[in-house]
Structure 1
Amino acid sequence: MLEVIEIEPANKATASVIWLHGLGADGHDFEQIVPMLELPETIPARFILPHAPEREVTINNGERMRAWYDFIPHSETEGKNDIETSRQQICELIAIEQDRGIDPGRIILAGFSQGGVIALHTAMRHDVRLAGVIALSTYLYDAAATEQEMNDANLALPILIAHGKFDPTIPIMRAATSRENLIRMGYDVRWFDYDMEHQVCVPEVEEISRFIQEIL
């Protein structure tokens, strides 16, 4: 079971946002964004910020760090087994929220970079309808396999994609290709790009807040 940070709303939670960090970070990475969202009391959402396991990462010369999967340069199927393991771990977190009384239709998966890969990978295969996905500075992993494995329960799922125009880590064209694949597969994609690199900016946070309020 993944270790997590939980941020409870002022009122009893009726929704959950499971937010996955990027490579080399941890659950604390997006902790400060939660109050910045300024969600109204009418949307009492619990934020769950899991820590990825530590593993050796090829692109960083085999250094051990928190990662959702091994990142291998120029590989279309990098860390395939790791990604599937991470998907199962996020499914466990979804199940825990359901056991706590949260309707799965009020559970959002969010993620930055590697975390966004796992959020998309999990939501599109999940067999119970979720609320939506927030995919930040990320991409769709193995579109061909996803098209074969996606579950009808989450067809047309609302997906917010936000990306930096000058991202040197995940070029915006990779995100744009992911967007086109997701639209072709029938998902409800909202696209936003910003004058930034591999990061998150204030206007993006404001858009995320609007998206959460819309789908919850």
Structure 2
Amino acid sequence: MKSSSRYLIPLAKPITVVAVTLGSTIFFILLLSQPKNPPSPSQGSMMARSFVLWLHGLGDSGPANEPIKGFFTSPQFTNTVWSFPSAPSNPVTCNNGLVMPSWFDLHEIPVTAASPNDENGVLKAVGHVHKMIDKEIAAGTNPDNIFVCGFSQGGALTLASVLLYPRTLGGGAVHSGWVPFNSSIIEQIPPDAKKTPILWSHGIVDRTVLFEAGQAGPPFLEQAGLSCEFKAYPGLGHSINAEELRYLESWIGARLRSSS
């Protein structure tokens, strides 16, 4: 596939549409993420410390996603710590072995409900995410106020990370992601992890991670004993829109614990 020169520097090898659409996603967010009424420090003084960890998609970076927090203007987020880590650079099979930011290997595009998974790579990345969560808990954040969110490959890693974490977290939000392992992983899900609520958002006309891959998520989670709220967005491709992020703000806000 041809890359877009609008958002990407031309490369010697072809790059898949994932990186192209991620670039347009962040461009879209940059245009819309200016908060109109920033909360004053006093408004959120009763809120306990909370933590939102955002995991980007293939070929993207953590800093490029930081404008996302501009949507979270409620006073409830005054004491929220945000983290936007970047994936390590690795060769990616679906991009002809091109080395790029990737949490784990990706074998094919588009991703379908039956696509092969790099389960060993996923588990290695999960260990990295768990260390970040452990560090935040050690800093004093209640696990109930910790939320892991991600887009595309980051959404798949979000799902894996919250399912395999040994404690109940505030929630996990999967945007345009997929289930990155087979059903045998269900036996490894800790009992407390099954209490973590999941929000799954997916564009119906997604041509990179097909809608069918997203639809496979809720049945998998139901089989594993978890609750999941699934939201389908008509007309949305492989990207995040303002409606999704505003709903995510309210979804997380409804689950935040106060200092009392």
User: 1:174: which partner in 2?
Assistant: 213
Q: After TM superposition, give the deviation of residue 80 of structure 1 in Å.
A: 2.1
**TM alignment of 1:18-167, pairs within 5 A:** 18-41=53-76, 44-73=79-108, 76-167=115-206
Tell me which amino acid in the other structure corresponds to 2:168: R
SS of equivalent to 1:50: coil
Tell me which amino acid in the other structure corresponds to 1:35: G
Deviates more, 1:32-41 or 1:44-53: 32-41
Q: After TM superposition, give the deviation of residue 76 of structure 1 in Å.
A: 4.5
User: 2:36: which partner in 1?
Assistant: none
Give structure 1 regions of 4+ aligned residues with deviation exceeding 4 angstroms: 9-13, 74-77
Q: After TM superposition, give the deviation of residue 167 of structure 1 in Å.
A: 0.3
Q: After TM superposition, give the deviation of residue 183 of structure 1 in Å.
A: 2.2
Answer yes or no: is 1:196 the counterpart of 2:236: yes
SS of equivalent to 1:56: strand
Alpha-carbon distance in 1 for matches of 2:199, 2:119:
24
Consecutive unaligned residues in structure 1, runs of 5 or more: 1-8
The answer on whether the counterparts of 2:76 and 2:253 sit within 8 Å (CA) in structure 1 is no
Kindly provide the CA deviation profile for residues 175-213 of structure 1, in whole angstroms up to 9, marking residues without a partner as x: 111122112322121111112100001111111011110
Larger radius of gyration: 2
Tell me which amino acid in the other structure corresponds to 1:136: H
RMSD of aligned residue pairs (Cα, Å) = 1.9
Q: Output the TM-score relative to the length of structure 1.
A: 0.90
SS of equivalent to 1:155: helix
Q: After TM superposition, give the deviation of residue 160 of structure 1 in Å.
A: 0.6
The answer on whether the counterparts of 1:76 and 1:142 sit within 8 Å (CA) in structure 2 is no
Q: After TM superposition, give the deviation of residue 56 of structure 1 in Å.
A: 0.3
Alpha-carbon distance in 1 for matches of 2:247, 2:77:
18
The answer on whether the counterparts of 2:118 and 2:180 sit within 8 Å (CA) in structure 1 is no
Answer yes or no: is 1:207 the counterpart of 2:242: no
Kindly provide the CA deviation profile for residues 49-74 of structure 1, in whole angstroms up to 9, marking residues without a partner as x: 11000000010111110000110128
Deviates more, 1:206-215 or 1:149-158: 149-158
Consecutive unaligned residues in structure 2, runs of 5 or more: 1-38
Q: After TM superposition, give the deviation of residue 39 of structure 1 in Å.
A: 2.8
Structure 1 residues 64 and 42 mapped into 2: Cα distance closer, same or farther (>3 Å)? closer
Q: After TM superposition, give the deviation of residue 29 of structure 1 in Å.
A: 3.0
Alpha-carbon distance in 1 for matches of 2:162, 2:77:
25
Deviates more, 1:35-44 or 1:15-24: 35-44
Q: Which has the higher strand share?
A: 1
The answer on whether the counterparts of 1:23 and 1:66 sit within 8 Å (CA) in structure 2 is yes
SS of equivalent to 1:135: strand
Tell me which amino acid in the other structure corresponds to 1:23: L
Matched length: 208
